[in-house]
Amino acid sequence: MAGWDGGILRHDPASKADSTAGDMIQIKSRHRAAVAKVLASDLGQSAGHALRHAIPMWQTIATAPFDNDIELAVIDADGAHALVFPCRRILNGWMNAETKERLEVHPTHWRRWEARPKDGAAA
């Protein structure tokens, strides 16, 4: 029987084929929960907080523009988080808007980049 073991999907080949659909639902559910955690945490933001303080809401990645600096939400080995630098959508991927380096990321959501003070600078 398939099941989760420390974040790894374990599969027993002797299990019934109909359990595969349940396993896929479990994977999608965990991914959806991780994305929801990123979006709700604002990476600290809640919908009410965003409306009161004009923090842009997260949008699905399919709607990301090509001509703007944007903030990306990703899920990687470190978990769900926002990248700390502005990014730009380019053909077939993403780049760091400051360094122009191509990024190997698979973002789930985006929002408009809000300029932030550099480390050590007054806010």
Same domain, 31 and 54: no
User: In which domain, by residue range, is 102 found?
Assistant: 47-112
Identify the pLDDT of residue 10: 44
Residue with tokens 């003070």: 117
Concatenate the DSSP letters of all residues of 87-120 into one string: EEEETTEEEETTT--EE---EEEEEE----PPTT
Same domain, 57 and 102: yes
The single-letter code of the amino acid at 5 is D
Within-domain flag for 55: yes
Same domain, 57 and 20: no
Q: What is the pLDDT of residues 39-84, one digit of tens each?
A: 555 554 544 544 455 678 999 999 999 999 999 999 888 888 999 9
Number of domains in the chain: 2
Same domain, 78 and 108: yes
pTM of the predicted model over 0.75: no
Both structure tokens of 96:
């760091």
Same domain, 33 and 59: no
Within-domain flag for 123: no
